[in-house]
Amino acid sequence: MDEWAKRLISTLAMGAGLALAGPVAAQVALKGVSLAGADFGEDNLPGEFGTHYTYPTPAEVDYFLSRGMNLFRLPFRWERLQPVPGAGLDRDELSRLRAIVTYATGKGAHVVLDPHNYARYFGKVVGSPDLPTLALADFWTLLAREFGSDRRVIFGLMNEPFDMATAQWLEQAKMAIAAIRETGAQNLVLVPGNAWSGAHSWTWEDYGGANAVVMAGVRDPGNNFAHEVHQYLDEDSSGASAQCVSATIGSDRLRGFTEWLEQHGAQGFLGEFAGGANERCAAALGDMLGFIERHPDQWIGWAWWAAGPWWGDYAFSLEPEAGRDRPQMAVLDVFLKK
């Protein structure tokens, strides 16, 4: 272990004031990473495979499994998998998606299917007059028929809806969940909120209606869902900066949402989070993950953003570089070994 990693672990243990062992840790079941690539090339839709976008490889799955992860969130573009709303799935694209899903689940991991579309389809907002009302529900009907037989596959309804009425998103989510259950699929469903599904803004009103009010109306005939939130640690929670506000910003921004989960007897999943390779962020990440570990009745797991073959020098990439772990891996290791 290099000196950088040692300092990160030291900061995690001492600066965040977090106990690194405890009986509740194993109860947070799902711990992993988003393997991006199939969501790339959003300005080239559908685009050309291998030029505008790609899929993660079995070698990447094997690496993260070896580090103790058991979940992979797999972002992809709806438009590539279903080029025409209401029509069938593109067989070549489905084959690419199925190949990596089958490999990962065959190794015992869970995979989150993540249409990385921000509640849009070719720029048209779901639930708007510009897109058929049941377009998203139809898409999820097709996905559920393809993947519903494997309970290790998790259905992430949509990545980060934004700039729409929260009630409009709720109706789309409810129709999609009902469509999934009508196929007989009982897979876990992850339901995001509006406004990029930020945990820190869950109670805010100004983005079209507070998630804390509106998303309490989620209904699942299969009673197997969790609320997905994303949370970054920079000043505006956007993830645009590799600098973290403070050593406790993680728990500070998750606390209100966690209390909401407890009040509603609900569960949450942290679908995206990250921090830069510096000591303050190491403390903030440790604080955040430690907070989740201490609330296993409310949290089912987390997925780091991100890894994948095309990230290069992206500040949050967990992709090994020249055979070496990225520095942030040292922080995650503490929690993956529990």
Domains of the chain: 3-18+28-336 (3.20.20.80)
Mean pLDDT, residues 112-116 taken together = 98
Tens of pLDDT along 195-251? 999 999 999 999 999 999 999 999 999 999 999 999 999 999 999 999 999 999 999
> Would you state the pLDDT for residue 43?
96
* Percent with pLDDT over 90 in the chain: 91
- Mean pLDDT for the chain overall: 93
230/214 Cα distance (integer angstroms): 18
243/207 Cα distance (integer angstroms): 26
Q: How confident is the model at residue 25 (pLDDT cuts 50, 70, 90)?
A: very low
- Could you tell me what percentage of the chain is helix, strand and coil, using 3-state DSSP and rounding each to the nearest 5? 35, 15, 45
Active-site entry in 60, 79, 160, 319: 160
- In sequence order, the 6+-apart residues with CB closer than 8 A to the CB of 113 are 74, 76, 97, 101, 143, 147, 153, 154, 155, 156
Active-site entry in 60, 79, 146, 272: 272
Does residue 3 carry a catalytic annotation?
no
329/10 Cα distance (integer angstroms): 14
Does residue 272 carry a catalytic annotation?
yes
Mean pLDDT, residues 245-269 taken together = 98
204/200 Cα distance (integer angstroms): 9
